[in-house]
Amino acid sequence: MTRSAEPPRNAVVITCDQAHLAFAAMTFHAVARLHPHRRFDLLLATTADFTLPPVLADMGVTLLRIPRPAGSEALKSTRLPFEAYLRLWVPERLVGRYDRLIYMDTDMLVQRPGLDALFGVDLGPHPLGAVLERPMWSRPGRNARDFRYMGLPPAPYFNSGLMLIDIAAWQQGGLLQRSLDLAAAEQDRLQYHDQSLLNVVLHRNWAQLHPAWNWQWMLHHPMAEPLHDPVVLHFFGPTKPWNDPRGLLPARVRAEYALFLQRHFPATAIEQGPPRGRLPSPGLARLALRQWRHGRPFARYLRRFDSEFDTLLQG
């Protein structure tokens, strides 16, 4: 990998604990492999006390250890570790060091280049760019539950799995403190964790990225992925490439994860059932009908973007 003489002003950052380290490494591996001449840094942020594995050090990943903030124990937590919230603190820690960050979840896979250019897209006056939450791809006017609970008017609602963050605008907007204040007052009424907080705090104040940067239709519309060739796949929910006993995900993805994890993290448990066979005719018909019903409004939504690097700004 060749690097420029001047330190990069952008970085891809992932937050994780020890339990998710192997999966974060797989995400970094795909980023590094597809961007050999990248002009951005790779950061792994954590509150945990572990040594960076050699495979990550060889990729050029830097460990950013953040002490667990005081009072963070009060934040709502279900199946997710605290590191799901840690992304709220990361921009504040990197003020002056970087201009923009791309935050990524540990259950994402980059399958073609493009992150260098994504850093430069137009965010307008907004501190953040993200992809619309999956249910809104076919129903853009749908009112999110968090907004209804908070008495807010309908507005676009984003998935926080991938976020393009303008650090200066984030800091100027006081997004960390506003999110913490909202959590203290309303978190029991909100549906998710950091995603709910950020969507309420940034109501109508974020830029929409093209869905190619956070593809959320891997299970719901499996026929759509090869047609649209998205850049970043997001395996949200319980089915992951390393935990797919029913064989629902594409064989190529499962094989890529299995090869990497067995080579670099052999102690990591992998459960992959046999690939799903051809659906019987009624199942194929239902799948095709669902794709047709949701595909048309999704196609209309996609036509609002001139390219993968176009954004939709909110007034």
Domain for residue 281, yes or no?
Answer: no
Number of domain units in the chain:
1
Domain for residue 268, yes or no?
Answer: no
User: How high is the pLDDT of residue 293?
Assistant: 66
The whole-model pTM stands at 0.93
Domain for residue 118, yes or no?
Answer: yes
User: How high is the pLDDT of residue 75?
Assistant: 82
User: How high is the pLDDT of residue 11?
Assistant: 99
Domain for residue 48, yes or no?
Answer: yes
Domain for residue 178, yes or no?
Answer: yes
User: How high is the pLDDT of residue 105?
Assistant: 98
Domain for residue 138, yes or no?
Answer: yes
Domain for residue 83, yes or no?
Answer: yes
User: How high is the pLDDT of residue 224?
Assistant: 84
Q: What is the pLDDT of residues 246-301, one digit of tens each?
A: 999 999 999 999 999 999 999 999 999 998 765 555 555 565 566 656 678 899 99
pLDDT less than 50: residues of the chain: 2
Domain for residue 265, yes or no?
Answer: no
Domain range for residue 34?
A: 10-213+304-312
User: How high is the pLDDT of residue 5?
Assistant: 61
Where residue 108 sits, what CATH number does that domain have?
Answer: 3.90.550.10
Instruction: Give the per-residue SS3 of the chain.
Output: CCCCCCCCCEEEEEECCHHHHHHHHHHHHHHHHHCCCCCCEEEEEECCCCCCCHHHHHHCEEEEECCCCCCHHHCCCCCCCCHHHHCCCHHHHCECCECEEEEECCCEEECCCCHHHHCCCCCCCCCEEEEECCHHHHCCCCCCHHHHHCCCCCCCCEEEEEEEEEHHHHHHCCHHHHHHHHHHHHHHHCCCCHHHHHHHHCCCCCEEECHHHCECCCCCCCCHHHHHCCCEEECCCCCECCEECCCCCCHHHHHHHHHHHHHHCCCCCCEECCCCCCCCHHHHHHHHHHHHHHHHHHHHHHCCCCCCCCEECCC
